[in-house]
Structure 1
Amino acid sequence: MSQTVVVKTPGSTVVQSTRTQTVASHTTNTTVVQRESAPKTVVVTRGIPGPEGRPGPIGPAGGTAFTRQADAPLSALRVVWEDEAGVVRALDHDDGDHIDLIAGLTLTATAAAGDVTVQRSGPVDDAAWSWTPGRVWLGPGGTLTQTPPADGYDVLVGHAASPTRLYLDIQDPIQLED
């Protein structure tokens, strides 16, 4: 005859068995205790951060953005044109040679030749802006202005929805008469 008792506790299981054996008219009771450790469960709520990876391609966040090369220092929040090699440069409102090559508005800057992010349409936010809600045009050196130009080209870049938000919707340039 044998009897088994199983006791489960957090972290382990104890099995106790009692066996009765009869050998040559001699009866013995043997008690066997076996302890089995259950595998420990560890829950990691936050791992150790690994090394930062290479930035992925810019995706549209309500607009279209892409990365281009600048061949000289270039500020953020400037309207730029793109040449056939994919290099962007600031666009002036009276640059008749490149006015039809508008790429968009730079979202990042570069202190020397390097990558810049350019957005073509959609919302752009900047805490340093203080727009009056209304239209925004291309100004000198790729700057943005709420005063339409008196000469060169009239390029409506978009509209300010709030003091710190501009919706890019670049329109075709219109040549102004001198």
Structure 2
Amino acid sequence: MKKNEIEEFMKSFAGKLTKDLGEHIKETVKSEIAPLIEKIMQLEEVIKKQDKEIKEMQGKLKQEKENDDKEKTKNEEEKRRRNIIVHNLAEEGDENEGQTEEKILKLINVDMKVKCNSEGIDYLKRIGRKGIHPRPIFVRFTCLKKKLEILKNKSNFNTEGNFLFFQEFNKSNVFFVVVR
């Protein structure tokens, strides 16, 4: 064999070897990557399914939050309907809540001629800072009926001085009643 023939043989052998080696590498890579690609596709399906579930849960959570907000607003409005605020009722310097309750009950029972006891009052408290003027008194009744009876009998109120009854329905709708 001549040198040229040997070179050509080597070139063709190297070419075949490179081609065979390249195909073998391709087949090996395909066989190794195919399971990974399948696994990635499965994971993508799982992710899509979980995203769908998350969106459904977010929708349910949003709906529940809206329902809770509506219920909370409804409860707050119901509580507000039973509230009054009494202004200009004399305040002692060291007055406690028990004394304040006695004054309110006297105002309601004696001056306004409406039967009410401490069980009819759910909560009461002077609001604001102490100063030269008497602080208003926040009163929440146990039932709306008692509050309405008090407002209805405001004409029976016959004392010196002006008292202001403030009736809360909700934050945007406020009604004032002045009793003289």
Q: Same fold (TM over 0.5)?
A: no
Larger Rg: 2
TM-score by length of 2: 0.30
TM-score by length of 1: 0.30
Q: Which has the higher contact order (CA 8 A, sep 6+)?
A: 2
Higher strand share: 1
